[in-house]
Amino acid sequence: MDALEQFRQETRAWLEENCPEEMRDGAVGEEFICWGGRNWTFDSDAQKVWLERMAAKGWTVPAWPKEYGGAGLSKEEVKVLKAEMRRIKARSPLESFGIWMLAPALLKYGTHEQKAHFLPPIARGEIRWCQGYSEPNAGSDLASLQCKCEDKSDHWQINGQKVWTSYADKSDWIFVLVRTDPSATKHNGISFILVDMASEGVSTKPIKLISGKSPFCETFFDDARAPKEYAPGVSSIVGEVNRGWDVAKYLLTHEREMIGGGGGGLLGGRGIGEIAVGHIGLDDKGRLDDPLLRAKVAEAEVDGWSFLLTMERLKDEAKAGQGVGAKASMMKYYGTELNKRRFELFMDAAGSDGLEWEGARSEDGKLARNWLRTKANSIEGGTSEVQLNIIAKHLLQLPGA
């Protein structure tokens, strides 16, 4: 028996013994996610036990090095672990922006001391992070951000406002893009700083969207302080001072891959055609009983299928050693536009039922709210127009882009 097969058997046995029954329902919706953090209240004892056991094993972040809270598994072993978890329909023990966004930045740009200080609490689900990027006057033109961060010799002092900080009201720490050198050209005076949200001078306020409640907040810094070092050798700034744009760009690529469908499973679930038939029914030839809608649905499914195959191809190319690079922008652009199209078709198919906003029949307007929420897909993480600019510049090398 080869080593990988042995790993599979051991993994299967361990999961069998340690995954609580209640965590084997395959639930993946937002309401079932365990986000962790100081203020986290577990849904159930099972959710708590599951997180603790997986964290102790290093399997909340299996690919990370052991010294930072992971299990140091190889790509193949991670695949086996995921497959074995799927086999028993195990829920993910922990999801967080710390894992998805901050960790990749720290692993690439952080010092050993920073990694050792910040990563293990993320892996254990003890600290929940959020992202402070956009500002009221710095959206698509993110690099024009103005949130001020002054060197007060023994600490940094931060003043300014961030917006669209998802889950800021529930998070413990925030990674923030700040301007540390106002005299430098716009990409060169930015730093990537880590701030404890319990610090004095940091406050948040939720934002209500057209879809109703939302995870988005505004976050304010009023003479907020961050120490130069959180512990010996643990700088509060990731990467070099004034070189934070490099870190930010690197992270945005990650975020785009996720929003574009890589991590969000945007295109999963039932087909558009199947859902439309549920609402409208078939004619006597077995076709959706609305010929013009049928054509649009079929075109969207052709594009959706083609998009999924393209995700598959880019993953396979990455495995074969070809970088994805700016193609992440292409996937973000296409995937989010497609998702909006999909929800327009769901709304077309659902007719007046889809317009109900309250009440049990519509699950409090679930479809309508989700439809409205998709409008942000092509805005957050860089608008579609910004992605097209990136494609024009980096993939097509068009002048002046």
C-beta of 262: minimal distance to another protein in Å? Answer: 15
Among 16, 25, 240, 317, binds another protein (CB under 8 A): 317
Asked if 13 interacts with another protein (CB under 8 A), we say no
C-beta of 25: minimal distance to another protein in Å? Answer: 28
Asked if 79 interacts with another protein (CB under 8 A), we say no
Token pair recorded at residue 208: 């209500």
Among 213, 305, 358, 370, binds another protein (CB under 8 A): 305
Asked if 287 interacts with another protein (CB under 8 A), we say yes
b/e sequence 140-171, b meaning 16+ C-beta within 10 Å: eebbebebebeeeeeebebbbbbbbbbbbbbb
Q: Which is nearer to another protein, 71 or 390 (CB)?
A: 390
Asked if 267 interacts with another protein (CB under 8 A), we say no
Asked if 310 interacts with another protein (CB under 8 A), we say yes
Q: In this structure, is the dihedral angle defined by the CA atoms of residues 62, 64, 70 and 76, taken in order, positive or negative?
A: positive
Asked if 379 interacts with another protein (CB under 8 A), we say no
Asked if 371 interacts with another protein (CB under 8 A), we say no
* DSSP β-ladder status, 229-231 and 234-235: antiparallel
Could you tell me how far CA 349 lies from the centroid of its own chain? 29
Asked if 396 interacts with another protein (CB under 8 A), we say yes
Asked if 328 interacts with another protein (CB under 8 A), we say no
Among 1, 183, 185, 319, binds another protein (CB under 8 A): 319
- How many whole angstroms separate alpha carbon 78 and alpha carbon 213? 36
Asked if 126 interacts with another protein (CB under 8 A), we say no
- How many whole angstroms separate alpha carbon 353 and alpha carbon 351? 6
Among 302, 351, 353, 370, binds another protein (CB under 8 A): 302
Asked if 307 interacts with another protein (CB under 8 A), we say yes
255 is catalytic: yes
Integer-rounded Cα Rg, in Å, for the chain is: 23
Q: Which is nearer to another protein, 92 or 387 (CB)?
A: 387
Q: How many residues bind another protein (CB under 8 A)?
A: 45
Site string for another protein, 333-362 (x = CB under 8 A): xx----------------------------
- How many whole angstroms separate alpha carbon 304 and alpha carbon 401? 29
Among 91, 128, 294, 342, binds another protein (CB under 8 A): 294
From the candidates 255, 301, 344, 358, which is the catalytic residue? 255
Asked if 157 interacts with another protein (CB under 8 A), we say no
Applying CB under 8 A, which part among 34-42, 137-145, 298-306, 375-383 lies near another protein? Answer: 298-306
Applying CB under 8 A, which part among 13-21, 63-71, 369-377, 383-391 lies near another protein? Answer: 383-391
Asked if 292 interacts with another protein (CB under 8 A), we say no
Among 104, 227, 264, 271, binds another protein (CB under 8 A): 271
Q: Which is nearer to another protein, 301 or 380 (CB)?
A: 301
Asked if 56 interacts with another protein (CB under 8 A), we say no
Among 301, 344, 356, 380, binds another protein (CB under 8 A): 301
Asked if 313 interacts with another protein (CB under 8 A), we say yes
Asked if 76 interacts with another protein (CB under 8 A), we say no
Residues at the contact surface with another protein, assessed by CB under 8 A: 271, 273-274, 276-277, 282, 286-288, 294-295, 297-299, 301-303, 305-307, 309-310, 312-313, 316-317, 319-320, 327, 330, 333-334, 385, 387-389, 391-392, 395-401
- What residues are labeled active site? 255
